Structure formats: C-alpha cells, structure tokens
Amino acid sequence: MNNLFALQNPLLFPADFGNSPAFQFSRFLPNLQNCHISAPVHEFKPTSSFISSNSTSDEADDNQISIIDERKQRRMISNRESARRSRMRKQRQLDELGAQVLHLRAENQTLMEKLNRASESRDRVVQENERLKEEASDLRQMLIDLQIGDSYASFRDFLEDIPCNTAHLMAEFSNQSITTATNILH
C-alpha cells in the first residue's frame, strides 16, 4: 500500500518513501489501513481519427516550420544581397572620391605652378620698373644739366659782349632756366 500511495502522488512524498523505516510512519498506519484508495487507471487506445488528426497536425506543423524556415532563408539571402549592394555602393563612392582627390591634387599642382610663374614674372616686372625709373631719373638730370650748361654758355657769350655789370641778371636767368627745364620734364 505504501508503494501505491507513493506512485499516485509522487510530488507529495520523497522518492525513497517506500524505503523509509517503518517506525517513522507508524503513527499514520492506523488511519491509512481504514482508507481504501483506488487508483484510476486510464488506458490509452489511439483511434484512427486521432492518429490521422495527429499526423495532419504534425504535417501542418512541419509545413508551418518549413514556411518559416524558407522565409528566414529568403530574408537572410535578401539581407546578404542588400549588404553586398551597400558595400558595392560605398566602394563606388570611395573610388569616385579617390578619383576626385587625384583630380583636385593635379589641378592644385597646376595652379601652384601658374602662381609661381606669375609671381616670378611680377618680380621681374617690378625689378625692370625700378631700373626704368632710375634710368628716367638719370636722363632727366642729364637733360637739366645739358640745358643749364647750354643756356649758361650762350648767355655768358652774350654778356661778354655787353660792357655793363650784369651779375644780378645772370643769376636771375639761371634760376628761370632751371625752372623751365624742370617744367618741361614733368
């Protein structure tokens, strides 16, 4: 009887219930002897409708799992293709940017060379301009010197012919010649 009780309620009693010493359970024995517990016995008899229903259910489950797996597979393939296209697009953009960088570097180099040539040309023009200014200044001075010398020589010859004191006239004429020569050059 102990074994039958242990089998009916396996969760209520420990697994070694039937092997426990009798003195621990002696106080329960009088009550259990008067109690008749009959264990309900269920016999499983599969019917053909249950089997076919079960197999149809299994087939439906298998079919559902197959559909889910197929969707997962398609999604995985689609994701791979999308990732591949994304990588290709990024690579194409990277290649385009690399080509653009090379083009801009070449253009920058060309512009730097043009700028250097223009700067060198400007330096040459500035130097030539300075040289021409100095030459013009020298020529003005030579002209002034020639005009003064020529005017003074002609005037001196004129004064020698006149027997009067003309020293103050010579100084005035010399100042006018210098002013006139300066006005001509400017």
What SS3 string covers the chain?
CHHHHHHHCCCCCCCCHHHCCHHHCCCCHHHHHHCCCCCCCCCCCCCHHHHHHHHHHHHHHHHHHHHHHHHHHHHHHHHHHHHHHHHHHHHHHHHHHHHHHHHHHHHHHHHHHHHHHHHHHHHHHHHHHHHHHHHHHHHHHHHHHHHHHHHHHHHHHHHHHCCCCCHHHHHHHHHHHHHHHHHHHC
Average pLDDT, integer, range 147-168 = 64
Residue 170 belongs to a domain? no
- How many structural domains does the chain have? 1
| Structural domain containing residue 26 | 1-40
Whether the pLDDT of residue 101 is over 90: the answer is yes
Residue 143 belongs to a domain? no
pTM: 0.38
| pLDDT for the residue numbered 10 | 47
Residue 29 belongs to a domain? yes
| pLDDT for the residue numbered 160 | 65
Residue 64 belongs to a domain? no
Residue 6 belongs to a domain? yes
Residue 142 belongs to a domain? no
